[in-house]
Structure 1
């Protein structure tokens, strides 16, 4: 790695972190996650890695092919790009879902895969609040519809997810690859996880854990999941499959509420994709991909002037 690349990485990381804290500052000065406009702040924070990457590319490095440096192009061969985009969407959803039976088998996720009592309880509360008699659709059918619509989240959440991926996997990961695949993936995961600190330390994702434990868990999750996103970026030659995978991942995150047992507490430091039991499958997947040499970057077609 050249001294110029190292300087760019330091500038990018410092800027992404500083902007994230700046955007989240109103939460710290106000009521934390209870602030009514928290969703807007969270979305704005997701854009900070993209801003940092754009600043570095346009004002620090100034490469000739800026879109390619960010992973935005080229968009060909289209078949490869579309294939990895579709794969990314469904792999992300699968990782979120498979974490639930794994957690149940390990005794850390209170599952109800038969009667869906937790989901039924939520429905009953909603029906009662709206003064309805009951929902005339079987709960099983509702869950099938919910699962079937999960891939649409990849497109609904794409812009915020791209805000992160443009920085993390679009620009930063290729810059780290000269260090070696495993070191690059580990550093990438640690940086990505720690960047979430402004929200995690307020209780986001891990509301029952002390701040240090929540942040450590977030880093633990970001390493294997970020490596999967990194594989999509490197093998497709584009940031778009990773962005769609990230968007689908975020959209599927709340499905653990659908399959939880009514009245039981879910500890996200242990269960769901956020907890240690949820990292097992993505970690195994990453090991298999590494063993198969699947993190080698593809060759781009010649750049057009």
Structure 2
């Protein structure tokens, strides 16, 4: 597939200065330097660039904004509520993961410091908003382009395949950073790669649900931004500052997060909320272009 080829190639190209320089992250509290930030930012834009390239040069049909669900559907208040949900749900899942890790004795909970909590939260939200454009770079590719094309008409087998394949592609796209200890510092690749596969396959349906219920990729972007920034920040903020942090045993990237996210995804699946048809009925028959009928998003291919 052209899209995946371009997205993966651009990812490896963006990470090449760090790979060639021998960069390796060995501690979860380790801050990233200027070069690392530039390479990460460039890599995060790769899926969107790949999607836009394919829409323009391969499929040659449809407006990019409509094709990739880059819209703010009416009623606007409903979409705004979906964006708040995209913030609240990952926050709740992270809190549940930290609670599970604490009860299991794997998360070194250091207590809640109420006096500075407001300042930390404000700074974390601001940082997430500043980084938000970069997460459009990822989700325009995964939720805007790849998932709808794999899902097809939303039938049973194609839908399951879409969730599994998109989640796996999303995880393996991170391979260069995993080789450098990015998401799981201190862990070898044969541990970090399977762990990332589990994390992405579980969290992807949450992002897709946010996209389906709103008809826009924007809530999925916000959800992804929270998981990758504020969720990681919560792990550090509420931990004992002197304790070592192992992402494999805490937060959304570890087994406590898998349990919390898996339970939530099971609820979404059992109640039909992961099916496009569920959201079509919820909107009383109104089907904006690209909202839940994925066939309407796919332009006619040039012959």
TM-score (norm 1): 0.82
For residues 59-98 of structure 1, the aligned pairs below 5 Å read: 59-73=57-71, 75-98=73-96
Residue in 1 that maps onto 2:131: 157
Higher-Rg structure is: 1
- In structure 2, runs of 5+ residues without a counterpart are 25-31, 281-285, 291-303
Whether the 8 Å contact between 1:32 and 1:202 is mirrored in structure 2 is yes
My pick for the range that moved more, 13-22 or 68-77, is 68-77
Aligned pairs for 1:1-305 within 5 A: 10-33=1-24, 36-73=34-71, 75-113=73-111, 139-147=113-121, 150-178=124-152, 179-252=157-230, 253-297=232-276, 298=280, 300-301=287-288
Q: Give distance in 2, aligned partners of 1:99 and 1:60.
A: 42
- The 2-side partners of 1:25 and 1:302 are apart by 39
TM-score, structure 2 as length reference: 0.83
Q: CA deviation at 1:148?
A: 5.2
Q: CA deviation at 1:177?
A: 1.2
1:171 deviation in Å? 1.0
**Equivalent residue pairs, number:** 270
- Cα deviation 1:18-65 (Å, max 9, x = unaligned): 110011111111141576410011011000000110011111112223
Relative to 1, partners in 2 of residues 1:153 and 1:182: Cα closer, same or farther, differing over 3 Å?
Answer: farther
Determine if contact 2:72/2:79 at 8 Å carries over to the other structure. no
Check whether the contact 1:23–1:45 (CA below 8 A) recurs between aligned residues: yes
Please report how far the alpha carbon of residue 153 of structure 1 lies from its aligned counterpart in structure 2 after TM superposition.
Answer: 4.2
Give yes or no for contact 1:173–1:184 (8 Å, CA) kept in 2: yes
SS in 2 for 1:28: helix
Deviation at 1:13, TM superposition (A): 0.9
Aligned with 2:248: secondary structure?
coil
Q: What does residue 129 of structure 1 align with?
A: none
Query: What per-residue deviation string (whole Å, max 9, x for no partner) do you get for residues 209-256 of structure 1?
Result: 101211211111111111101111112111011111112222211221
Q: CA deviation at 1:293?
A: 1.1
What do the CA deviations read for 1:73-101 (whole angstroms, capped 9, x no partner)? 36323232212111101212222232111
CA contact (8 A) 1:154 1:246 kept: no
Stretch of structure 1 that moved more, 142-151 or 215-224: 142-151
